[in-house]
């Protein structure tokens, strides 16, 4: 899967924390990242690419031909179209995740979990599907039956040539006054419904929220003021979510990284648990403590070593790094690496990805 991260002057300050979260949660060796940036953000994008290069299957920085200065919605519309066209022109055949800079992963192996859900649902698009709110007689109606998929989600390649979406893509790629100047997820909703879209609880879209807090029940957030009537988000983040979108302040980052030396503190992800994922972080754990459920404790070989069968089964579920496995099975990294080598695996340096020898 391609992960497209748009970088604009509106939110470039969020890029370092996003990169930090991506590196921490890992599981990206089977995926590649495209930093799609405006000319004014080239240095920040290149620095981000250099930092994450060893942790992903591939990374590239793609610069727009000129600076977009038309306002947030139109700039994002034109960047989305630039992404669609770049991926097509580069021969990409993979689906792509549009991941804006106010989104954060919320679980180890989150990208693999999303891609597996995408394949299982069998639709062209996967994301948070909601009713488009409408204002009638100065009253906001939130149950309208007019379904749309929020922007952060997985899309197919070829949107620029699909007969349903091509006209919308063409419109969204034009500068004002020819640009519709509606958010692309609103403008394309009819086309995406016809192409095929599916809802997932793995993406929690909390557009325009803040004041995130860690509670005994999980992470909560509150809606932020907006100059017109909108459907307010907020409340308790679903435990199934592996990707959270929409935090407009630093409060979610402060939960994920309470100090620069701490690991994220997160609620357990029940969706991942049900799929056999390895993400058992308890609600009230100190920053670096990870608890592993009995049903995923590895079978022991001699002396408590991991067996080859166990590691092979883990690798079939997705990419695996030494530091993540070490925390999950409570074996020190140096001893674990020696164990892996004995049973026929190797650990790539410096990234720590585990591979068959």
Choose between 193 and 271: higher pLDDT: 193
User: Pick from 290, 287, 288, 309: which is nearest to 298 by CA?
Assistant: 309
Choose between 141 and 264: higher pLDDT: 141
Per-residue model confidence (pLDDT) at position 137: 77
Distances in Å between the Cα of 81 and the Cα atoms of 88, 171, 293 are 11, 9, 44
Give the model confidence (pLDDT) of 261-274 as tens digits. Answer: 444 554 433 333 33
Per-residue model confidence (pLDDT) at position 290: 27
Per-residue model confidence (pLDDT) at position 230: 75
pLDDT at 276 over 70: no
What percent of the chain clears pLDDT 90, i.e. is strictly above it? 65
Per-residue model confidence (pLDDT) at position 66: 93
- pTM comes to 0.74
Range scoring the smallest mean pLDDT among 119-128, 181-190, 297-306: 297-306
**Mean pLDDT throughout 60-83?**
94
Per-residue model confidence (pLDDT) at position 262: 44
Local confidence band at 259 (pLDDT 50, 70, 90 cut-offs): low
Any idea which residue has 């620095």 for tokens?
Answer: 47
User: Pick from 243, 142, 147, 145: which is nearest to 192 by CA?
Assistant: 147
Choose between 315 and 128: higher pLDDT: 128
Sheet strands side by side (includes 56-63): 56-63, 28-37, 2-7, 96-98, 147-155, 125-131, 197-199
**Mean pLDDT throughout 247-265?**
75
Any idea which residue has 């599907």 for tokens?
Answer: 129
Choose between 232 and 44: higher pLDDT: 44
Per-residue model confidence (pLDDT) at position 143: 79
Give the model confidence (pLDDT) of 164-190 as tens digits. Answer: 999 999 999 999 999 998 999 999 999
Is residue 125 a contact partner of residue 155, using CB atoms and an 8 Å limit? yes
User: Pick from 64, 5, 76, 4: which is nearest to 40 by CA?
Assistant: 64
């Amino acid at each position: 899967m391609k992960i497209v991260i748009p970088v604009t002057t509106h939110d470039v300050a969020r890029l370092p924390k996003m990169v930090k979260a991506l590196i921490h949660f890992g599981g990206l060796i089977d995926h590649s990242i495209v930093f799609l940036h405006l000319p004014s953000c080239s240095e920040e994008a290149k620095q981000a690419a250099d930092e994450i290069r060893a942790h992903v299957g591939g990374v590239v920085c793609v610069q727009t031909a000129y600076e977009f200065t038309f306002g947030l919605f139109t700039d994002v519309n034109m960047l989305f179209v630039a992404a669609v066209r770049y991926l097509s022109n580069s021969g990409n055949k993979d689906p792509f995740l549009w991941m804006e800079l106010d989104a954060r992963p919320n679980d180890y192996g989150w990208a693999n979990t999303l891609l597996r859900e995408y394949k299982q649902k069998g639709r062209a698009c996967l994301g948070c599907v909601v009713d488009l709110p409408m204002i009638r007689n100065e009253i906001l109606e939130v149950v309208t039956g007019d379904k749309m998929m929020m922007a952060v989600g997985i899309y197919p390649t070829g949107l620029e040539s699909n007969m349903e979406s091509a006209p919308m893509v063409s419109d969204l790629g034009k500068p004002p006054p020819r640009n519709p100047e509606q958010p692309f997820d609103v403008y394309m909703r009819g086309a995406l419904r016809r192409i095929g879209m599916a809802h997932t609880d793995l993406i929690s879209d909390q557009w325009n929220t803040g004041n995130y807090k860690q509670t005994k029940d999980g992470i909560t957030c509150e809606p932020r003021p907006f100059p017109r009537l909108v459907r307010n988000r907020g409340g308790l983040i679903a435990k199934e979510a592996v990707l959270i979108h929409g935090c407009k302040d630093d409060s979610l980052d402060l939960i994920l990284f309470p100090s620069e030396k701490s690991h994220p503190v997160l609620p357990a992800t029940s969706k991942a648990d049900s799929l056999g994922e390895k993400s058992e972080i308890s609600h009230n754990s100190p920053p670096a403590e990870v608890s592993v459920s009995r049903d995923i404790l590895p079978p022991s070989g001699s002396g408590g070593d991991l067996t080859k069968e166990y590691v092979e089964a883990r690798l079939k579920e997705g990419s695996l790094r030494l530091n993540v496995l070490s925390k999950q099975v409570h074996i020190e990294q140096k001893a674990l690496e020696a164990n892996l080598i004995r049973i026929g695996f190797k650990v790539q340096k410096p990234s720590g990805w585990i591979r068959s020898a």
